[in-house]
Structure 1
Amino acid sequence: MPAPLDIDQLQTFIAIVDSGSFTRAAEKVFKTQSAVSMQMRRLEERIGKPLFIKDGRTNRLTDEGERLLGYARRMIRLNNETMAAFDDQKLEGMIRIGTPDDYADRYMPGIIARFAKTHPGVELYIECEPSSELSARLQRGELDVALVTHDPLERSSEVVRTEPLYWVTSMNHTVHEDPVVPLAVGRTSCRWRHLACAALDASGREYQILFTSWSATVVTSAVLSGLAVSLLPECAVRPGMRILSQLDGFPALAPAQIGLMRRPGAPKALVDALCGHIAASLDNITPVTEEDETAKGNSRRDRGIRADAPTLAAW
């Protein structure tokens, strides 16, 4: 029977991948850089395959390293769930979380499933409302945690995900070519609504707001029906949508950001545990440059949107 893999080595391996370097991983796992390097040599010996390849001054994963990463994450997650199941000090109680409806649809199923396995004694009470309403309810003490659209001018939140924000229209209609662009946007408190209007005003493009709703489903339907143009983050782009660029007469947009808010005075252990699960699930990505966004947008526009593109929007 093969000897089992070392959990500590797998944790270090994941830390290297997530942090991007052996040096930062060493700080994260509280080891020296030489100890981290030794762990990876032993892990490569155990696997019998090289996991990293030198690429200039950096190390990148080999194909075998990419394969191991998925298994490693599952093993660490299962290990943590197992330890939590036998923890006499396990968390108990109720925590109230607020999220826009589309965040709930896209992200909450996975978060809830993992959190429930790790903390079976905790009850999650979930409310779905726009970000501005969630912020107000948090301040009134009606929620403990809120997943919101980050807006530093309106509220303070911890950014846990950043991604490109796109103009979108229907692949089968030409409403974006209308002299006066019809828009489908969130309510007046929506940050992306303000961004859309400000960007079009600055570019001199005429527009008219035809559809207003805090529901992402309503806005998405207006776009797919060919009735309006809207703004969506990259992972919210749906099959049947076309990404518009400056070549189509639509100005570049700043990236979209998702933030976490915590209620002062909320049960710290419960809040820390839930926010940790959320942050890990959203797996924050590095913002791309305007040139990268334009190239990616043109590529996706030319070939259409993949059929498995997830849905996400925040109003």
Structure 2
Amino acid sequence: MTAPLDLDQLQTFIAIVDTGSFTKAADRVYKTQSAVSMQMRRLEERIGKQLFAKDGRGIRLTSEGEKLLNYARRIIRLNNEAIAAFDDNRLEGTLRIGTPDDYADRYMPEIIGRFAKTHPNVELYIVCEPSVDLAEKMAKGELDIALVTHNPRERMSDVVRTEPLCWVGSANHPLPDDAPVPLAVGRRDCQWRQLASSALDSIGREYQILFTSWSSTVVASAVLAGMAVSVLPESALRTGMKVLTQADGFPALPPMQIGIMKRPGVATSLMNAITNHITACLDNITPANMNDEVEGDVKSFGRYLRARGGTGSLQGW
């Protein structure tokens, strides 16, 4: 009898295709990069065909890989449908989730994507507003759960992530030495804005707030254009940004913390499911360093080639 295809290998294969990266796929399927490379070697042995080839500094599917992808998606989808059909405890209902704009941009795609796949019968209603406004909506019972900047002086939340808060400027536009620091920050009640102002005041460095917005896109655009400096968590750094340190005349900032606020009365099963997903996704977030990501993929694909019996040479890849 012909041995069946391994579902776990197929899921990893799909993750590589969807993310375009061995490194990102490893994060998505919660495996090491070495394990991902080994799985692809074994899948190729099972199929008897080469699935991936190098393409410049990236990877691409071979024609045989393209053929397998269609079958893999259908197999995984049918498997999930079969499990759901016999799951008497599958979750249903609606969850109203609040998050600041900058958290939505960085964290929510992963949270929503994972949750929707495992709980397709739960409707997610997402509200993007500053933490202060989300806390008010929670108090009024207008939201079920909210991701907020943890600030125990103003609101109670359970901390689920802590990371450095960084001064950031444009990597391509140096700041003038003899002018006040131009800032792009959130509204007056934004905790990061208050921390930035207090830190500059503490060393007597002049600054001028040029841009005020609760939109992370607006703030990031001002920074990347070289028009202003801002403060962002490490995981929100983008290509084209430069971290400004004490050597650049910027004082150290305290770390930022993300907290979860929960509304009493929400079904325990629903609350536990979304909380576990949020916590797992936040644990899996890494700093957005494009150079490290490319280097990680080069190493992963090199292991994959060597496992397949190739030389592992990636010069010019």
- TM class by smaller structure: 0.5 to 0.7
CA deviation string 1:60-116 (max 9, x = no partner)? x9985686799xxxxxx9999975553112111111001122322322222222212
Q: Cα 1:223–1:270, aligned 2, differ >3 Å: closer, same or farther? A: same
Q: Cα 1:112–1:156, aligned 2, differ >3 Å: closer, same or farther? A: same
- Give the structure 2 partner of residue 133 of structure 1: 133
- Give the structure 1 partner of residue 258 of structure 2: 258
CA contact (8 A) 2:170 2:226 kept: yes
- Give the structure 1 partner of residue 117 of structure 2: 117
- Equivalent residues in 2 for 1:76-87, closer than 5 Å: 83=83, 86-87=86-87
Q: Cα 1:176–1:93, aligned 2, differ >3 Å: closer, same or farther? A: farther
Q: Cα 1:274–1:63, aligned 2, differ >3 Å: closer, same or farther? A: closer
Alpha-carbon distance, 1:254 to partner: 1.2
Amino acid at match of 1:224: L
Tell me, which stretches of 5 or more residues in structure 1 are unaligned? 8-60, 71-76, 287-295, 310-315
| TM-score normalised by structure 2 residue count | 0.65
Alpha-carbon distance, 1:177 to partner: 2.9
Give the distance between the partners of 1:104 and 1:238, measured in 2 at CA: 15
- Equivalent residues in 2 for 1:4-19, closer than 5 Å: none
- Give the structure 1 partner of residue 240 of structure 2: 240
CA deviation string 1:260-303 (max 9, x = no partner)? 110122222211111111111111789xxxxxxxxx9xxx8xxx
- Give the structure 2 partner of residue 208 of structure 1: 208
Q: Cα 1:285–1:102, aligned 2, differ >3 Å: closer, same or farther? A: closer
Give the distance between the partners of 1:281 and 1:80, measured in 2 at CA: 21
Residues 1:279 and 2:279 are matched in the alignment: yes
- Equivalent residues in 2 for 1:166-245, closer than 5 Å: 166-175=166-175, 177-245=177-245
Alpha-carbon distance, 1:307 to partner: 9.0
Q: Cα 1:224–1:187, aligned 2, differ >3 Å: closer, same or farther? A: same
| TM-score normalised by structure 1 residue count | 0.65
- Number of residue pairs matched? 235
CA contact (8 A) 1:239 1:306 kept: no
CA contact (8 A) 2:235 2:285 kept: no
Give the distance between the partners of 1:174 and 1:237, measured in 2 at CA: 17
Report sequence identity in percent.
61
Superposed CA RMSD in Å reads 3.4
Amino acid at match of 2:136: A
Give the distance between the partners of 1:194 and 1:92, measured in 2 at CA: 41
CA contact (8 A) 1:245 1:252 kept: yes
- Equivalent residues in 2 for 1:298-309, closer than 5 Å: 306=291
Give the distance between the partners of 1:150 and 1:82, measured in 2 at CA: 41
Alpha-carbon distance, 1:117 to partner: 2.1
CA contact (8 A) 2:106 2:236 kept: no
Give the distance between the partners of 2:32 and 2:96, measured in 1 at CA: 42
- Give the structure 2 partner of residue 105 of structure 1: 105
Amino acid at match of 2:256: A
CA deviation string 1:199-240 (max 9, x = no partner)? 111111111111111001111111111111100111111111
Tell me, which stretches of 5 or more residues in structure 2 are unaligned? 9-30, 41-75, 295-317
CA contact (8 A) 1:239 1:307 kept: no
